[in-house]
Amino acid sequence: MKFFLGIDWGGTYIKAGLVSPTGKIIKKRVYTSKNLRQKNSFIRNIELLVEEFGKDKIKGIGIGAPGIINTKGGLIYYLPNIAGWKNYPLKRVLEKRLKKPVFIDNDANVFGLAESRVGSGKGKSRGIFLTLGTGLGGAVIVGGKLLEGATSAGELGHVPVSLKGKHCGCGSRGCIETYVGNRYLLSRYNRISKPNKSAKEVKDIFEMAKAGNKQAIAVWEDFSYVLGRFLAGMINVFNPQVIVFGGGVSGAFSLFKPLVKKAIDKYAMWPQLKGLTLVKAKVSEPGIIGAALLAKESLLLHK
């Protein structure tokens, strides 16, 4: 049987796995990202992995990268948190070196693909997939396929929900990401809870809300309202059958789901809500599996 090499390129860790065509991880390796920041070491590492896993066994390589990617050409436009990769033709370089087909997309799209094929969105032809963490990553599945542009389509985190909101890393203002990202949740909680206990992680705000802390509950209510209103707009555009919530903040899913649903029910156009479900992501290692499935599906398309 032929397998696919899936690479989940994160800010802290780079995880790689040999994955079966049905999305099962056969072998896995984890590296510290800072050791592989340089292009040479990153590429050399993939080369060694391919040798270790068995070159003959690998049909294609998929990479989920933390940045803005030209998916058609496999070119990295830039990685916001890793310097030195601007306009780098990673697909071309790796294919030449490894003599294997390589496909690259951004990490949120890769996550969406994994959840759509083997996770909470399985069997649905239209879905919205969110990674809630430092930022808000998004992927959209329409007609059973990942919505793709020539570059990274589906950048849901950078849809503005306020015309004069906070400045965002993308260069715009008032993006949904500036309302629901980790940093926003922490700073809002720490501002309104003063001089009481401050939160270091979003998990703390979740725990405090569960214990009945009023300020922590207010933060989640606010988060859910903004996210729900934003999603109502996305529901009107894409008419999804499922919205899948992943990323670190999804740990608080049980807390925010009813609140997000309340805002969605109130603000989306009601015919669009028929058959819609809100669910938590369930794939462990979606970055590895999604990247491998990206390679598998891209190869089928290009046959």
176 lies in the site for Zn ion, by CB under 5 A:
no
Q: How far is the CB of 168 from Zn ion (least distance, A)?
A: 3
First to last CA, the chain: 18
If one asks whether residue 25 binds Zn ion (CB under 5 A), the answer comes out as no
| 68 is a site residue for Zn ion (CB under 5 A) | no
**Cα angle vertex 220, ends 247, 258, to 5°?**
85
Position 58 contacts Zn ion (CB under 5 A): no
**Residue number, 162 or 196, with CB nearest to Zn ion:** 162
Contacts of 262 (CB under 8 A, 6+ apart): 224, 228
Q: Please count the other Cβ atoms lying within 10 Å of the Cβ belonging to residue 116.
A: 28
| Nearest CB to Zn ion, comparing residues 43 and 159 | 159
Coil vs helix vs strand at 270: helix
- Which residue in 49, 69, 130, 168 binds Zn ion (CB under 5 A)? 168
User: Which residue in 158, 210, 257, 282 binds Zn ion (CB under 5 A)?
Assistant: 158
Alpha-carbon torsion 153, 158, 161, 164, what sign? negative
Pairing of strands 75-78, 68-70: antiparallel
Nearest distance from C-beta of residue 166 to Zn ion, angstroms: 10
Number of residues that bind Zn ion (CB under 5 A): 5
> What residue spans of the chain are helical by DSSP H?
39-53, 90-98, 107-118, 177-180, 182-193, 202-210, 214-238, 253-267, 286-301
Q: How far is the CB of 149 from Zn ion (least distance, A)?
A: 17
Q: Determine if 172 is a binding residue for Zn ion (CB under 5 A).
A: yes
Residue of the chain from 175, 216, 243, 289 that contacts Zn ion (CB under 5 A):
175
170 binds Zn ion (CB under 5 A): yes
* Residue ranges in contact with Zn ion by CB under 5 A: 158, 168, 170, 172, 175
